[in-house]
Amino acid sequence: MAQRRSTPQALKKALGWFAARYIALVRDTSKVIRVPEDMDRRIDELAPAIFTTWHGQFLMSATMKPAHQPAKMMIARHGDAEVIAQAVRHFDIELIRGAGAAGRRKDRGGATAFRSALGSLQDGVNVAMTADVPPGPARKAGTGVVALASASGRPIIPMGFATRHTIAFRSWSRFTLNLPFSKFAMVMGDPLRVPEDADDEELEASRRDLEQRVNAVTRRAYALAGGSAHLAEPVSAANPERPGLALKTYRLLTRVARPAAGSLLRRRVARGKEIGERLGERFGRPGRTRPPGRLWWFHAASVGETNAILPLMHALRERYPDIRFVLTTFTVTSARIASNRLPEGAVHQFAPLDSPQFVRRFLDYWKPELAAFTESEIWPNLIMETHARGVPMVLVNARMSPRSFKRWRKQPGMSRPLFSRFDMVLAQDQTLARRFMKSGAHTVHTLGNLKADAPAPPVDEALQGELAAALAARPILLAASTHPGEDEIVTEAAERLRARIPDLLTVIVPRHPERGATILEMAKQRGVSAARRSRTPLPGADTELFIADTLGELGTWYAVSPLALIGGSLVPHGGQNPIEAVKLETGVITGPHHENFAQSFEALMKAGGCREVASAQDLADTVAELLADPQALEDMRASARAAAAELQGALERTLAALAPYAEDDAVRPTQRILPSGAVAAASGLASGEAAASEARADTRHAS
């Protein structure tokens, strides 16, 4: 066993020795250009100092160390970094092990490394560290390096390294392997001094300044070496991943399948899933006149995504009245909601089928300046064709289920080219942010869930009064937004409950109203007295199950129900939004499958504002317990309201993230360094900024 444990370490030492010999080979076989020529003298004058370069270009950084100057290099503690750690030791460089957490919920030794680096500088030892923080975004300087400069009072020296011949890997940082028998340039920039005891605003200004300086010396190094700076640029919307075989095959098949689109849509019309007179929109033909002037395109799949995006559109309309909107959706239900709730100057269209020809026709007419896709709407041709027009794309309120994540990870030739074409991905939480980055997204910010900021579903007060009169204080079990397979579980639970609560009324609101007839047939087969609202306006005294298969009335049902099971959670669907119920004072019950709203349910459960059930018996027992104890139910609802309030704020953060697109139409944010303060100042959760927060906190501790 001891021999097994020592073998990997011995291998890492051997690989480190080989890496050191390789770095020396590149240096010794290349024509070396040093700027300035008296670099060693300049280092002596500035020492001790903090030397920094981009993560992707750090390989040759060990060769710049003057023989007489002590130096330490900050290297992460994970296994892969051990090879680099072993290599730099051969250049008489000591190690500082640790890195910022970068949004991960684990200790990567960042605080310890910060203290060690600070102590080394105070002892007169130079410190080298990369400016950008894994896992990215690449070439976005973290705050840790400027916080170290502020705490130590020592200058930051930006460095650029490049060889004429290189191999750039498609990693997050575009790690560059410098090749021997080449021309090797190392460029040392002017020192950057950060004010001691700098506040957050001064640290941010210094961070942006550092970013520009490291970019400048890197570009100069490539120019002097005669290499291709573009080759080593990290993946971005301006430099996306190339399509793989899977994506190329999909695009070919959708072109070939175009003639079958008409037959497919006619069948959907017959099933009530399309509106016959608007089929042209599905072929990319306009159904409305394009509003004049600037136009942004928002795309949402169905009801949930539409409800999430509408408040954002209203807020944008109020803030930027010169911008008009076109909203595309897929479902008939979402189209009806949009028609009643769109902001002034906005129009609705059904999204074109994902065929290159249909998408091009849509884009030719609408000519949007920005495309904002919602949550998990990833249609390959929509994305590829929009990007090809130079239209910046943002994925808003982004989420990715574990199942989808596994699928995307298995198809990197599909996922990475698609996600890398987004200018920004605005994820709901850190877990989702990491999934998007691992799937190919390059700039990801964690802003929270827009649905927490959405207004409560509308309540029809007249209907609420009619229902109150018809119910005559009967106890209610509400099952909201149910999916196939759940109605039977709810009905079984209701049958068990009626043995204890004889006058119980069960109300099922199916996620898709067209399932009303199917649910009614199921109830009849079970011998349950049932009625559909689309046929019978109100439940009768003998109605045991009422199927609310009408559109836009869920809010009213929440208003008359003390508690509700949130659908999509008793079957592996992923759950629905619980915050809508909470905002209307309804107690929340969920099944075990609520991963699509994991952050919301986690917050509710942690606060005691939600109950989880796994079966019909669990549901019956929980409902009986809560209906029998009004105080426990009220405590649960109060806890849920407090937890929901803590989740809010995503709307303002999203507005801040989109502001550069609205305020500066001359420069795309992908073509410049996007000021992180626009997002991070609002949220403090931007991906890659957790290391900066850790460093700032440690600065105060160390001081």
Long-range contacts of 193-197, Cβ-Cβ distance < 8 Å, separation of 24 or more: 193/149, 193/155, 193/156, 194/146, 194/149, 194/150, 194/156, 195/150, 196/150, 196/151, 196/153, 197/150, 197/703
Q: Within a 10 A sphere around the Cβ of 383, how many other Cβ atoms?
A: 24
The DSSP symbol for 427 reads E
Please provide the DSSP assignment of 7-50 as one string: HHHHHHHHHHHHHHHHHHHHHHHSEEEEESTTHHHHHHHH-S-E
Q: Which of 469, 459, 406 is nearest to 435 (CA)?
A: 406
Q: Which of 299, 287, 278, 308 is nearest to 428 (CA)?
A: 308
Instruction: Specify the pairing of strand 156-163 against strand 183-188.
Output: antiparallel
Q: Which of 305, 334, 525 is nearest to 396 (CA)?
A: 305
Helix (H, G, I), strand (E, B) or coil at 444: strand
**Sheet order of strands, 545-547 included:** 530-532, 545-547, 505-510, 476-482, 563-566, 587-590, 611-612
Cβ within 8 Å of residue 18, ≥6 positions away: none
Q: Are 146 and 210 in contact (CB under 8 A)?
A: yes
Query: Rounded to whole angstroms, how far apart are CA atoms 271 and 268?
Result: 5
Spacing of C-alpha 544 from chain mean position: 43
Q: Active site includes 305? A: yes
Backbone angles phi, psi at 554, to 5 degrees: -60, -40
- What is the residue whose two structure tokens read 């990215």? 136
Please provide the DSSP assignment of 268-337 as one string: HHHTTSS-GGGHHHHTT--SSPPPSSEEEEEE--SHHHHHHHHHHHHHHHHH-TTEEEEEEESSHHHHHH
Query: Rounded to whole angstroms, how far apart are CA atoms 567 and 410?
Result: 30
Helix (H) or strand (E) segment spanning residue 75: strand 71-75
Instruction: Specify the pairing of strand 71-75 against strand 31-35.
Output: unpaired
The angle that helices 356-366 and 380-388 make with each other, rounded to 10 degrees, is 50
Terminal C-alpha separation, the chain:
45
Query: Rounded to whole angstroms, how far apart are CA atoms 254 and 260?
Result: 10
Q: Are 40 and 66 in contact (CB under 8 A)?
A: yes
Query: Rounded to whole angstroms, how far apart are CA atoms 344 and 325?
Result: 9
- What is the residue whose two structure tokens read 């330490």? 72
Query: Rounded to whole angstroms, how far apart are CA atoms 39 and 130?
Result: 20
The angle that helices 486-498 and 516-525 make with each other, rounded to 10 degrees, is 40
Helix (H, G, I), strand (E, B) or coil at 553: coil
Q: Are 84 and 177 in contact (CB under 8 A)?
A: no
Q: Of residues 82, 204, 241, 305, which has the active-site annotation?
A: 305
Active site residues: 305
